[in-house]
Amino acid sequence: MKITETKIPGLFIIQPGIYEDSRGYFYESYNERLFRDHGLDFRFVQDNESRSGRDVIRGLHYQLHPYAQTKLLRVLEGVVFDVAVDMRLNSPAYGSWTGIEVSAANRLQVLVPKGCAHGFRVISEYATVFYKCDEFYYPEFERGVHFADESLAIDWGTEPGKAVVSEKDSKAPGFADADKNFYFGEI
């Protein structure tokens, strides 16, 4: 398993070891001991899965502290462009974003730390996304950032008018107006 940190502290790209032969493939998508050996010590409590069609953008979502979530994401079917935005006040990467193509074929995983807004755009005809969370979902603590906020300048690879977005996500505030109660190093 190869674990690489991105420009956003605590945001990791995980490349599992894949064992393929004539029967197919096998890999460990999660191993608590290996993660802990890399300093990634989480207790995941909830698994989520979504299936969406081409150009659907889900996000950018997060939960406020004390119910912020670390997410470990992978794609079971199709291809997505996965994005995380650092919302942690006093973070060296505050307000910046990282995007990576994650697919069933490349089998990459993304570990999104607490205090980052997260979303993805479906690139393929359909995509099934699976992610583990280290905190339960609390709707009253859920927040969002508008996916097309000009200050973030995220290149989703599609025109905002072509994106398929939920009503809730289309009404999310911009980054400057979004609720933030995260401090880098404190959550």
- Give the pLDDT score at 96: 97
Query: Among 9-13, 34-38, 120-124, 131-135, which is the least confidently predicted range?
Result: 34-38
107 within some domain = yes
Question: Is 61 assigned a catalytic role?
Answer: yes
Please give the tally of structural domains in the chain. 1
120 within some domain = yes
- Give the pLDDT score at 94: 98
- Give the pLDDT score at 186: 86
- Give the pLDDT score at 160: 75
187 within some domain = no
102 within some domain = yes
For the chain, what is the mean pLDDT?
96
Average of per-residue pLDDT across 16-38 = 93
Catalytic residue among 38, 61, 67, 94, which?
61
161 within some domain = yes
Does the pLDDT value for residue 161 go beyond 90?
no
104 within some domain = yes
Closest CA to 130 of 54, 60, 44, 66: 44
185 within some domain = no
Tens digits of residue pLDDT in 61-112: 999 999 999 999 999 999 999 999 999 999 999 999 999 999 999 999 999 9
CA dihedral of residues 66, 42, 60, 83 (deg, nearest 10): 150
Query: Among 15-19, 54-58, 70-74, which is the least confidently predicted range?
Result: 15-19
* CATH code for the domain of 119: 2.60.120.10
184 within some domain = no
Domain encompassing residue 103: 2-177
- Give the pLDDT score at 183: 94
Cα distances (Å, whole numbers) of residue 163 to 16, 48, 52, 53, 89: 31, 22, 12, 11, 29
**pLDDT level of residue 50 (50, 70, 90 thresholds):** very high
Tens digits of residue pLDDT in 117-127: 999 999 999 99
Cα 174 to Cα 177: distance, rounded to the nearest angstrom = 5
- Give the pLDDT score at 171: 97
> In the chain, pLDDT over 90 holds for what percent of residues?
96
Question: Is 38 assigned a catalytic role?
Answer: no
Does the pLDDT value for residue 137 go beyond 80?
yes
**pLDDT level of residue 159 (50, 70, 90 thresholds):** confident
